[in-house]
Amino acid sequence: MAKRGMQFDVPLCLGVLALVGIGMVLIYSSSAAYADARGLPESFYLAQHLKKVLVGLVAFLIGMTVPYKTWERAARPLLGISLGLLVFILASGAGSVNGASRWVFGIQPSELAKLSMIFYLARRLAEKAADMDRPIKGLATSLIVPGIICLLIVLQPNYSMVLMLCGVTAAMVFAGGARMRHLLILAAGMIPLLGVVMVSSAYRLKRVMAFLHPTANQDSAYQSLQALISLGNGGLIGTGLGNGTQKLGYLPMPFTDTVFAILGEETGFVGTMIVLGLFGLILWRGLRIAYLCNDRFGSLVAAGISIAVALNVSVHVGVCVKLFPTTGQPLPFVSYGGSSLIANLLGMGILLNISSAASASTSAEPKPRLVWHAARRASPLRPFTPGATRNAGGRA
C-alpha cells in the first residue's frame, strides 16, 4: 500500500524541548522563595531539576535511537520488573510519604508501570486483533494485566494514576477493536465500585467534599482555592516572571502539583494558552504518527503514549482550575520531579523513533480504530474489522 511520506517529526521534537525549557524557567521562579525560606540557595531546586533533565534527555535519545520494535520484545520483561517493584514497595513500605508508598530507589514504579503497560497492551492487541470484538476472549482477557497493575497502585494509594491508566487502557482496547457497547457496560459496572472507593477512606471523602463544597471545607479545599486565586491574579498577560505572590507561602509546593497555577499567575492567560497549545501540538503529532504508522504495534504504542500525556495534562490542569478534586499529578515536562519527566521524555523519544521508522515501512497491517476515527476525513480507509485484510487500494 502506498504511504504518504513520514520522517523524523521536527514539530513534535521542538514542542517537547520547548516545554522542558519552560519548565526550567518556571521551577526557578516558583521555587526560589520556597528554598530561601528553608535556608537553601534560591537555585537549589532548579539545580536538582537540571540533573533530572539531563537524565531525561539521555532517555529521550535512547527512545529516539533504539528501534521501537525492541520495546515489543521487551514488553513482558519490563512488565515483570514493574510488577516486582510495585509489590516490593507495598511489602516493604519503602518510599512512604504522607501515608502513601510510591517511591523505591528514588523512582516511582508507577511511571515505569505506565510505559510497560502500554508496551504490553500494544503487543497483545496486535497479536489478538481478530478476537477483540469478543467480550471474553478479546476484551476481558486483555484487561487482566492492566487490572493487576491498577490494583497494586490503588494499594499505594495513588488513585489519580489509576484513573489515568484506566483511561489509557480504555482508549487502547477500543483502538485495538473492542466494541464500544462492551466498554460502556464495563464502565457502568465500575461506577458503584468507584463510589465505594471514594467513601471508604476519611481523607478521600474529605477531598471529595472539599471539591463539592469548598466554602464549607476550606481546610481541605485550601490548595485548590489558592490555585484559583493564583490563576485569577494573572489576568490576561500575568504579573511577570518572578512577580507572583501565591508562591510566597500561600500555594503548597508551587513547583510540582500546582505549577500550572504559577504559570497562569506570572504569564497570564496568554502564557497558559501557549503551553496548552504546545501540549495540543504533541497530542496532534502523536496521533498523526499513530495514524501514519503501518505497523500495528507501533501505531498502538504511539496512540497510548500520546493519550497518556494528554490525560496527565487534563488531570493537572483540571485540578488547578477546580474541575477535579485535588490530586498529586505533575504537569508533564514542566513540573519539578524525576520519574515523570524521564518516563515522558523516553515516551516522546519512542514516538520520534516510530515517526522515523514508519516512513520506511511497507507493512499494510490494519490501523487501530481510534486513530482512524481521528483522521477519517483525511483518508478513504475504513475502520479495522477484526479478521479483515486490506487490498492494495487500502479498503477492507
Q: What is the pLDDT of residue 210?
A: 63
Write down the domain spans for the chain.
Answer: 12-378
For residue range 23-48, what is the model confidence (pLDDT) as tens digits? 999 999 999 989 988 899 999 999 99
All three cell numbers of 191, joined, read: 461506577
Asked if 27 and 34 touch (Cβ cutoff 8 Å), the reply is no
* pTM for this entry: 0.85
Q: What is the pLDDT of residue 14?
A: 96
Q: What is the pLDDT of residue 380?
A: 33
Q: Which backbone phi and psi does 351 adopt, to 5 degrees?
A: -55, -45
Q: What is the pLDDT of residue 307?
A: 96
List, run by run, the mean pLDDT of 10-residue segments along the chain (396 residues). Answer: 61 96 94 90 93 96 94 94 89 58 72 94 89 83 91 84 91 88 84 72 66 61 82 91 87 88 94 97 94 91 96 92 82 91 96 80 53 40 36 36
Burial 134-173 (b: 16+ CB within 10 A, else e): bbeebbeebbebbeebbebbeebbbbbbbbbbbbbbbbbb
Q: What is the pLDDT of residue 325?
A: 79
Q: Where are the beta strands (DSSP E) in the chain?
A: 96-97, 100-101
For residue range 253-296, what is the model confidence (pLDDT) as tens digits? 889 888 999 999 999 999 999 999 999 999 999 999 999 888 99
Q: How far apart are CA 201 and CA 66, in angstroms?
A: 44
Q: Across the chain, what does the average pLDDT equal?
A: 82
Q: How far apart are CA 327 and CA 110, in angstroms?
A: 15
